[in-house]
Amino acid sequence: MSISGATSDELLQRLDRGDLTSVQVTTAYLDQIAARDGQIQAFLHVDRDRALAQAQVVDDKRKRGEKVGLLGGLPVAVKDVICSQGEPATCASRMLEKFVPPYDAHVITRLKAADAVLIGRTNMDEFAMGSSTENSAFKTTRNPWDLERTPGGSSGGSAAAVAGGMAPLALGSDTGGSIRQPAGLCGVVGMKPTYGRISRYGLVAYASSLDQIGPFANDVAGAALLLEAIAGHDPRDSTSVGVDVPAYSRTVQEPLAGLRIGIAKEHFVSGLDAEVEQSVRKALDVYKSLGAEIKEISLPHSKYAVAVYYIVAPSEASSNLARYDGVHYGHRASQFHNMIDMYCASRAEGFGSEVKRRIMLGTYALSAGYYDAYYLKALKVRRLIRNDFDAAFKEVDVIASPVNPTPAFKIGELIDDPLAMYLSDIYTISANLAGLPGISVPAGLTKSRLPIGLQLLAPPFEEERLFRTARMFERETDWHRQRP
């Protein structure tokens, strides 16, 4: 098996046996980037020498007989919204085009401690606002399965890097589906952990009550391994929860007995592509054959999730992005008449159209006379959405649904229709609003060979249950082995 086609577990076994070195593995993926990324455009920054130097450090540890970290020299691609000292962190925006962080995000510190090799920075929708990676200020990432289609977003670069065989593992961030949605469209595994499971220190904020960093991999075990490496409490993040981190990589292979899977009737309505629905229902049949009980549930307030999200998230974005004023850091206009003019010109030049749209939506929702009617009401409905899940999880262990209502759409197809673009996250948004963990696993291909994902949701801090449930399905199928 080729290096780029192997799973993380297979690579680690070969590294531990001495069949491969980290330099060889890293070189193979760097060569794949050089050969393929000209078409796919998944990466914004790759420092070959730096990556190989990191790999050599891990190889030297092995030669000396020292214990290596959990990731043992595996390359990891990083979404360009996570700060890494000495490397650009542009958020795919002109506003931060020249920004180089002077510190590491908590997850980067954890990756280095786990002996990961940071292979490159991946493209994204600007400031993580989008569902297609078309909102990047620098390039449009393409889906490795069909170069005329989007990889999803906002973590489209990370998903495309894994799907395209250019990295075995990658990090993304998920505010309303930005890990699970591109994972589903690119045929890889993507996990959004529980809010608070992973520190947001060093994650450039979009919507602070929703953002969460998570893993991409080409199988469930790889995602479990990466989450285990980066999860845990961080006192620098007040929302980071001090809950023990299970050994996901050791328990992922254990099936669950007496599994109860919930199916929300609200998830199977008009607008759901027929091939997507068929694949999801076939996945449920696989679980039935394994002895799982399939039970219909109701999430009555889920119909309000998109509306609630597009009030709460833009409101928080309006506040978070106010710091980009052309004074302390970030883009500053070259021509202006006074300070107010400098603010206006810098922000007008630095932000793209989708970011401006969401700032205006949020500012309006928070403005005097509208705060109670929009933002406060959205928070109340958000609570009702969480209550629906709490009630459902008294009856079932996990909830299954589609990840996306359709397979990957064509580049340019929805870019001028913001509402249609927003609806592509209709199945993923509610997990962020409720703070739940969710995973997307490959569950089929359309007749035209476009990936279809299955989403599984669980109660807070039950990532271990999700991994074990997802692995049960993966063991019975070979969809995760399919490559573009």
* Residue 63 belongs to some domain of the structure: yes
Q: What sign for the dihedral angle of Cα 224, 230, 235, 240?
A: negative
Q: Domain limits at 115?
A: 3-260
* Residue 366 belongs to some domain of the structure: no
Strand order in the sheet with 117-122: 43-45, 117-122, 75-79, 169-173, 213-217, 189-192, 438-445, 451-457, 398-402, 260-264, 293-297
pLDDT higher than threshold 90 for residue 459: yes
Q: What is the mean pLDDT of residues 54-72?
A: 97
Read off the pLDDT band of 270 (50, 70, 90): confident
* Tally of structural domains, the chain: 1
CA 190 to CA 181: how far, in whole Å? 8
Q: How far is CA 117 from the centre of its chain?
A: 19
Check residue 435 and give its pLDDT: 98
CA 429 to CA 157: how far, in whole Å? 20
Read off the pLDDT band of 269 (50, 70, 90): confident
Question: Of 139, 110, 406, 175, which Cα lies nearest the Cα of 309?
Answer: 175
CA angle 330, 321, 159 (to 5 degrees): 85
Q: What is the mean pLDDT of residues 199-214?
A: 98
Helix, strand, coil % in the chain, rounded to nearest 5: 45, 15, 45
Check residue 329 and give its pLDDT: 83
pLDDT higher than threshold 90 for residue 144: yes
pLDDT higher than threshold 90 for residue 38: yes
CA 115 to CA 117: how far, in whole Å? 7
Q: Could you say which of 131, 154, 155, 424 is catalytic?
A: 154
For residue 45, report the phi and psi dihedrals to the nearest 5 degrees: -155, 130
Check residue 419 and give its pLDDT: 86
Is 178 a residue of the active site? yes
Radius of gyration of the chain (CA): 21
Q: Provide the token pair at 351.
A: 């932000």
* Residue 55 belongs to some domain of the structure: yes
Predicted model pTM: 0.97
* Residue 372 belongs to some domain of the structure: no
pLDDT higher than threshold 70 for residue 142: yes
pLDDT higher than threshold 80 for residue 1: no
CB atoms within 10 A of CB 134: 22
Question: Of 479, 471, 457, which Cα lies nearest the Cα of 255?
Answer: 471
Q: Is the CB of residue 294 less than 8 Å from the CB of residue 287? A: yes
Is 154 a residue of the active site? yes
CA 115 to CA 118: how far, in whole Å? 9
Q: Could you say which of 178, 279, 302, 315 is catalytic?
A: 178
- pLDDT per residue as tens digits for the range 86-125: 999 999 999 999 999 999 999 999 999 999 999 999 999 9
* Residue 145 belongs to some domain of the structure: yes
- pLDDT per residue as tens digits for the range 323-366: 999 898 899 999 999 999 999 999 999 999 999 999 999 999 99
Q: Could you say which of 4, 8, 22, 79 is catalytic?
A: 79
* Alpha carbons within 13 A on the beta-carbon side of 168: 30
Question: Using DSSP, how many helices (H) and how many strands (E) does the chain show?
Answer: 16, 11
* Residue 144 belongs to some domain of the structure: yes
Cis status of the peptide bond prior to 154, with omega within 30 of 0: yes
Check residue 328 and give its pLDDT: 83
Instruction: Look up the CATH number of the domain holding residue 143.
Output: 3.90.1300.10
Q: What is the mean pLDDT of residues 68-91?
A: 98
- pLDDT per residue as tens digits for the range 148-195: 999 999 999 999 999 999 999 999 999 999 999 999 999 999 999 999
* Residue 359 belongs to some domain of the structure: no
For residue 204, report the phi and psi dihedrals to the nearest 5 degrees: -65, 125
Q: What is the mean pLDDT of residues 35-39?
A: 98
* Residue 126 belongs to some domain of the structure: yes
CA 160 to CA 158: how far, in whole Å? 5
- pLDDT per residue as tens digits for the range 400-458: 999 999 999 999 999 999 888 998 899 999 999 999 999 999 999 999 999 999 999 99
Question: Of 68, 79, 138, which Cα lies nearest the Cα of 107?
Answer: 79
Residues in contact with 259: Cβ distance below 8 Å, sequence separation at least 6, in sequence order: 287, 290, 291, 292, 293, 397, 398, 469, 472
